[in-house]
Amino acid sequence: MSLPEPEREAEAAAAIGFDLSECVREPIHRLGMIQSHGTLLAVEADTGTVDTAALNTAGLLGIAAEELVGGPVTRVLSPEHWAEALEVGAQHDGASLVLPVSVDVAGAPRMFDVTVHRQGPLLVLECESRAVAAPHFAHFYQGVRLALTRLRSATTAAECCQAAAREIRALTGFDRVVAYRFDGENGPGEVVAEVVTEGREPWLGLWFPASDIPPQARRLYRDNWIRAIADVDDISVGLHPPLRADSGLPLDLSNSVLRTVSGFHLEYLRNIGVKSSMSVSVLREGELWGLIACHGYTALTVPPELRAACEFFGVAFSLQLAVIEEREQAEALTASRRRLERIISRVTSDLEDSLLAGDDVFRALLDADGAVLCRGGRGTSSGMRVPPALLEALQRRAAGPVPGTVWSTDRLAEEPDIPGDGTEGGPAGVLMVTLSRSGDFLAWFRRARPTARRWAADPSRPVQAGPRGERLTPRGSGAVFRAVVRGQCLPWTPTDRATAQELWRTLTGVVLRHEAELAALNEQLRITNSDLDSFAHVAAHDLKEPLRGISNAAAFVIEDAAAELDATTVRRLHTMRRLAGRMDDLLDSLLHYARLGRGGLHRTRVPLGRVLDSALEVAGERLTEAHVRVIGHDLPEVYADEDRLYEVLVNLLVNAAKYAGGQDDRTVEVLVDTLRPPSGGPPRQTVVVRDNGIGIPPGQQHEVFELFRRLHGPGERGGGTGVGLAIVKRIIERHGGELWLDSEPGRGSTFFFTLGQEGG
């Protein structure tokens, strides 16, 4: 998209902000000047000696500054008033308090409102004449109380600001009262509420560039609730002495109510046609949230009592706003919690799958364009593409802080340690929550959203030549500049952050729970297995003895009394012996099977060819008898317990002999291939034993691996106890491998097995 030239410039400037270096550097709290409608004395608190005095004391207090400095403050204040001021200063360190004081000026009493604050070892007294008819705080208090009541009925932050602007205007009578909200600590300000006299150009919705309020001014706004300028054309009054002997600097006027503001600011106000102004800070958790700024088109002195009332209102307003914002956040949190619950309800120990597969609820949770779960250096993502270099940078950032730390930015491009990949449409902002100190994290990404802003000044031309050199451009001239802010995503809200953390907390819980459940299950299984093994072992062992007794007894009877017995009885006795023998075989198999569950595996890398050779030493004869040819393909090394593997091959080969087909060319092949096991996962080294024997009917292919399960009766096809394949299966499982088969009746059976992972 191409923009017209001025807009492009405006956009560039709006995105980066601009630097009025001179203005930014000005030490505005050490200008050493006050407004002339009042005067100032700085008095050593310990001795009561005047340290510094404003140069207009002669006119207001009747004694010249030069005469006052070095002398006792009691030349001006009565000892009672001084004692009172000391008491106030001691109690309210940092804050200012107003005392009504009467001073004898040239023989006549004159009333002053003295604002007292402590500045290091000094007590600073700022005196403003008090009109005899001036209303007292009690009067203002009524107004403020009503104003606060009205404030309380506001339900949204915007309504609350609008009500505050209206009330401050009603209290003070300024021509324009606006509420600004700052976009970030040092960002530009937006006019979110306004009350203005008819005929004046409205500012509502306008943005003011960040540089309109330089950082050091923001610091003063944060530290003082209120400041007022009675007349922008006032001739400021200097101090005596102008510089302090100890520091070589003018007196620190940070907390002074009469302090002259920067020449830049005065000129700025003049440029917009403002003659007097006042601003009340709006703080949120100790940080500057915004300002209520008041402008008068004529000079207007706000008396100290009214200032105090406005200050009080400002504090109350800040609290009220916090309450509303918190409620708004709580509501947003409830909504996102509902979404969170949906996600959590389907979380399994496979986080990647349960968070990122399927629909986009996880991404939608934070209204993001993309999401990533990065664990063990591997990122799984959904939605927009995230450049690998960005993932790596985030991983570095995630390593270190405690798990559960949330970090976010809506301007990734401004992060020094994060490489931009320069592509349009990539992530402009990220919110991540760390999962481990080794750099695992969950992150959401948002695309850049071009935001159209109406600027009160052309943000591309902030500085203009004026009578005193480079000056701020006139504001409020009716010209509104539109500029689009780019490279920035929608800001992450406190709710977004809270939601991400909540998800982290729940996930930790879920994963831990899954792990605990798994551990408990494993333990249970281990106990059950070993119970079963020892039961089988003991039973098999103990049964062998009486069985041998039965068999022997039958043998004796046959031997000793054969002549006296009839043929049927003899045949039955023989059957009895044969059955006892068979039962003995079964018990042997069972004993062997049970023993397999005990003892560890001794796994090494073994050449499969060698194992096949030794298996053939046992099975070879059976195979030869059955005319089955053995074909051993190129056999590599496998990682297994050699003795157990030998047993597997013996069983499979003997079966190939037992269940050989009727054709002439009978074969059993042994080979190794890389195959995907039926349970899924990546392809693995697989041993294959394939015969062309009688095959196994499809419906019975699962049964053959069960203990004592045979498809052929004893004696049929070489007999057997039905334990062979169960043993094979158990051995393979103990290796962490898988056993499966493929068979077609009449064509043959193929047995496949893997042997688990090396090091697994």
**Which of helix, strand or coil describes residue 356?**
helix
The span from the CA of 525 to the CA of 519, in Å, is 10
Site string for ligand ADP, 249-288 (x = CB under 6 A): ----------------------------------------
CB-CB contact of 144 with 168 (8 Å):
no
- Comparing CB distances to ligand ADP, the nearer of 164 and 694 is 694
The distance of closest approach from Cβ of residue 753 to ligand ADP in the complex, given in angstroms and rounded to an integer, is 14
The residues with which 409 forms a beta bridge, in sequence order, are: 430
CB 750 to ligand ADP: min, Å = 9
CB of 648 to ligand ADP, least distance (A): 11
State the residue number with the nearest CB to ligand ADP: 720
Q: Does 453 bind ligand ADP (CB under 6 A)?
A: no
Q: Which is nearer to ligand ADP, 70 or 581 (CB)?
A: 581
User: x/- site string to ligand ADP, residues 597 to 636, per CB under 6 A?
Assistant: ----------------------------------------
Q: How many residues bind ligand ADP (CB under 6 A)?
A: 23
Q: What gap in Å lies between CA 596 and CA 618, rounded to an integer?
A: 20
507 vs 623, beta carbon nearer ligand ADP: 623
Pairing of strands 666-675, 628-632: parallel
Residue 691 touching ligand ADP (CB under 6 A): yes
Q: Is 162 in the site for ligand ADP (CB under 6 A)?
A: no
Per CB under 6 A, 694 contacts ligand ADP: yes
Closer to ligand ADP by CB, 446 or 658: give it: 658
CB of 709 to ligand ADP, least distance (A): 6
Q: Does 711 bind ligand ADP (CB under 6 A)?
A: yes
Long-range contacts of 202-207 (CB under 8 A, 24+ apart): 203/176, 203/178, 203/456, 203/476, 204/178, 205/454, 206/454, 206/455, 206/456, 206/480, 207/453, 207/454, 207/455, 207/456
Query: What span, in angstroms and rounded, lies between the C-alpha atoms of 422 and 416?
Result: 14
Q: Calculate the alpha carbon distances from 398 to 419, 420, 443 in Å.
A: 16, 18, 10
Nearer to ligand ADP, 331 or 706 (CB): 706
Residue 551: CB minimum distance to ligand ADP, A: 21
CA distance 274 to 281: 19
Q: Which of 194, 218, 214 is nearest to 281 (CA)?
A: 218
Binding ligand ADP (rule: CB under 6 A), the pick from 164, 374, 640, 704 is 704
DSSP secondary structure letters along 114-167: EEEEEETTEEEEEEEE--TTPPPHHHHHHHHHHHHHHHHT--SHHHHHHHHHHH
Would you say 76 or 648 has its CB closer to ligand ADP? Answer: 648
Question: How many residues would you count in the chain?
Answer: 760
Distance CA 703, CA 726 (A): 10
Residue 355's alpha-carbon distances to 15, 381, 538, in angstroms, are 35, 10, 49
Nearer to ligand ADP, 612 or 694 (CB): 694
Burial track 483-502 (b if 16+ CB lie within 10 A, e otherwise): bbbbbbbbbbbebbbbbbeb
Nearer to ligand ADP, 252 or 691 (CB): 691
DSSP state of 716: G
First vs last C-alpha separation in the chain: 56
* Cβ distance to ligand ADP smaller for residue 38 or 693: 693
Q: What are phi and psi of 585, to 5 degrees?
A: -60, -45
Does 693 participate in binding ligand ADP (rule CB under 6 A)? yes
Q: Does 596 bind ligand ADP (CB under 6 A)?
A: no
| Alpha carbon of residue 526 to chain centroid | 39
Nearest approach, Cβ of residue 592 and ligand ADP (Å): 12
- Residue 712 makes contact with ligand ADP by CB under 6 A: yes
Question: For ligand ADP, what does the binding mask look like between residues 714 and 753, x meaning CB under 6 A?
Answer: ------xxxxxxx----------------------x----
Q: Which is nearer to ligand ADP, 48 or 724 (CB)?
A: 724
Pick 667 or 721: Cβ nearer ligand ADP: 721
Chain positions 636 to 665 lying near ligand ADP, rule: CB under 6 A, are 651, 655-656, 658-659
Applying CB under 6 A, the residues found at the interface with ligand ADP are: 651, 655-656, 658-659, 691, 693-696, 704, 709-712, 720-726, 749
